[in-house]
Structure 1
């Protein structure tokens, strides 16, 4: 209990500091007591609601939609205020110099006051951008599905698979969904790609198998002529819930695994399958979750048993840190790895082909899109669904289409 009290105190101090400095910008622009009161009241209600939801939601419930909503409200008002903090804190530092300067030149005080008002206007204007973005991200962005297409060339790809197309989806997080029409649109968009093979790289649910109950009929309509294959993600193990008994957790985990065949996916549990075409084949290898700082159940060696080093291999591994720490330098040569997990933190800035930034990059070296090292490639899918924050800001839900091409070896 003392740990929670300490966390609450730290949380309160941080929030107070942010709100105090943000309020300075408002004070510089208006003397209206009504506007100031509304500003304080809205913030107080949102923080109180977040703490209330945190208090009344038992750990056995997992992450509820109410928790996501409370988190969304809090981040929507908190993140923009960080812009205000940066400006107003800087202004306070400047005021220290102003005090000293005013002793020398008293007549310059009005100039400094005018400057403070100007800074407050700039700060509020800039803060309005992330505020509007977060509102859009919650209302529309979480279902703003994007199809990203890549063409990858490999010298050792069997000729029969030249032009072979793969759809990758990841991180469905069905327990977060609230709009069947939007989810159906996303699933239809996946099928519209008409690719040869469909691969799902984990996190079917947030915590519990029954989160998929209302979505099975939609996701079982996914189709690919060469099959649909999947692996587990860290959330599929039920590790983030306080279960009444260990047996309940075991039953839930089995139930999560049982959902995969219900939606037509062959779940690979440290296993491999061969995909054959015109007498040639590629190896599809799927491991259980392995992540730095997360569940490390996956066994790459076991999954690769009876696979030849000379085979062209596609590895399904939920967490990209597995590629960084175990896969990319492995001389067994896993030519292509497909991962998810990061969601790109569901917020950032992307200008395709020019610029890509998200706080996620400070946690994961490979956090979204394609990366190549040691002659091997990984694609990190940004996720189909969303988690914790009920929206997406700049980092949109992703459907990946990869076309494999046969390269020509130089003599």
Structure 2
């Protein structure tokens, strides 16, 4: 359908306005950053040339990356583009804050001197070298932090342990252990040795089961092909179970036809099977142990439920009523649901009591600061009230894993890749 010139104009104008506003802010950030360099290196023109050459090169590289962007392959080059942009902009934002603050002081001082008649020379006092030095030193901190996140942080696996007590946990499952991993995003990996270390670390936990809560790939099943042999090494005596995440469906890329998308999904199902995972799609399984009653053949069980992705603002393929349709109201239940918003929107008030929900999805935005007992913050908290760690509400637990892999930005700053070990205990009377 062809658009009329008027309609084309009405679409283009808002887009151009947004682009101009964005370019204005980019110029403002760089201009203020340049002031710090110019103040410190007044007589060294080569520093100024290097500054603008670097900045312009970054923007040209990023512009080229976005113009040639293909969501079908979030390539390593795209990741490098994002990391270069972050490395360039975050330090400049620190400089902007200090230099803009200094300008406010200079303007107030200039106005006061003019009104009082004490003004001599230029209206604005000269920039202080100390402020520029401080700005550059402070900007180096986030720069080094981001650089560490790109080189080291994205593979800095940590094991997080939680012990949960329940009144109605079957005695046979007292001490039962779960290793949860989430958000592998296999299309982003670039270091086989580091990845193998992470898989070995999962196995070292020697948990009864391994539960994977979605996002095996970024967009396409082929991303997992190089890593199948690595993840096949995961072992758990009572099995490995998984669900789908929002990225697993291929919804974020264009397919030549419906059949191609379906073929990709079928291959993803096959890969899950090759990895040794039992994929739960709005269904459940019973995890069983011999009953302590001594009756031959008697079994004690807990119900493990897996729903497809259900997220507020995302695709909602999950069907919790279907997944629990054949379960007793009195059974002990563990739910795997990729997006933690599902817990607040449906799970916590669901007609059947679900003791523990395991989610992922947020990655903790791969950026934040966590000091136990003092501070826990990430930009993810602006979107998700429950974005990482353990939560309890209405007697039900939710655990949000920070993710095993990474997406788009090839790094982690302050929010490290996580392997969660949960031990279930029967509360003593």
Deviates more, 1:25-34 or 1:173-182: 25-34
Deviates more, 1:89-98 or 1:151-160: 89-98
Instruction: Give the structure 2 partner of residue 88 of structure 1.
Output: 99
> For the residues of structure 2 that align with 1:43 and 1:252, how far apart are their CA atoms?
40
> What is the DSSP-based 3-state SS (H/G/I as helix, E as strand, rest coil) of the residue aligned with 2:287?
strand
1:154 aligns with 2:166: yes
Instruction: Give the structure 2 partner of residue 291 of structure 1.
Output: 311
Superposition map of 1:58-97 within 5 A: 58-59=70-71, 61-97=72-108
- Contact map agreement 2:109 2:124 (CA 8 A) in 1: no
Deviates more, 1:308-317 or 1:324-333: 324-333
TM-score of the pair, normalised by structure 2: 0.91
Superposition map of 1:228-377 within 5 A: 228-278=240-290, 279-377=299-397
Give the root-mean-square deviation of aligned CA atoms: 1.9
> What is the DSSP-based 3-state SS (H/G/I as helix, E as strand, rest coil) of the residue aligned with 1:213?
helix
Kindly provide the CA deviation profile for residues 108-129 of structure 1, in whole angstroms up to 9, marking residues without a partner as x.
9899546x32222222221111
Kindly provide the CA deviation profile for residues 291-339 of structure 1, in whole angstroms up to 9, marking residues without a partner as x.
0111111001111111112111110000000111111122411110000
Instruction: Give the structure 1 partner of residue 401 of structure 2.
Output: 381
Structure-2 change in CA distance of 1:351 and 1:204 (3 Å): same
Structure-2 change in CA distance of 1:350 and 1:109 (3 Å): farther
> What is the DSSP-based 3-state SS (H/G/I as helix, E as strand, rest coil) of the residue aligned with 2:425?
strand
Match of 1:166 among 173, 178, 181: 178
> For the residues of structure 1 that align with 2:18 and 2:330, how far apart are their CA atoms?
53
> For the residues of structure 1 that align with 2:340 and 2:276, how far apart are their CA atoms?
25
- Contact map agreement 1:162 1:405 (CA 8 A) in 2: yes
Q: Which 5+ residue runs of structure 1 have no aligned equivalent?
A: none
Kindly provide the CA deviation profile for residues 13-49 of structure 1, in whole angstroms up to 9, marking residues without a partner as x.
2311221222222222221221112111111111111
Deviates more, 1:87-96 or 1:226-235: 87-96
Instruction: Give the structure 1 partner of residue 24 of structure 2.
Output: 13
Kindly provide the CA deviation profile for residues 195-244 of structure 1, in whole angstroms up to 9, marking residues without a partner as x.
10100000000000000110000001100001000000000011111112
Q: Which structure's CA Rg is the greater one?
A: 2
Kindly provide the CA deviation profile for residues 70-110 of structure 1, in whole angstroms up to 9, marking residues without a partner as x.
01100111112111111122222222112113333346989
1:35 aligns with 2:47: yes
> For the residues of structure 2 that align with 1:307 and 1:7, how far apart are their CA atoms?
52
> What is the DSSP-based 3-state SS (H/G/I as helix, E as strand, rest coil) of the residue aligned with 1:194?
coil
Instruction: Give the structure 1 partner of residue 34 of structure 2.
Output: 23
Structure-2 change in CA distance of 1:101 and 1:28 (3 Å): farther
> What is the DSSP-based 3-state SS (H/G/I as helix, E as strand, rest coil) of the residue aligned with 1:214?
helix
Query: Structure 1: which 4+ aligned runs deviate by more than 4 Å?
Result: 3-7, 107-112
Deviates more, 1:46-55 or 1:140-149: 46-55
- Contact map agreement 1:62 1:240 (CA 8 A) in 2: no
Number of residue equivalences: 407
> For the residues of structure 2 that align with 1:236 and 1:165, how far apart are their CA atoms?
27
Structure-2 change in CA distance of 1:187 and 1:5 (3 Å): farther
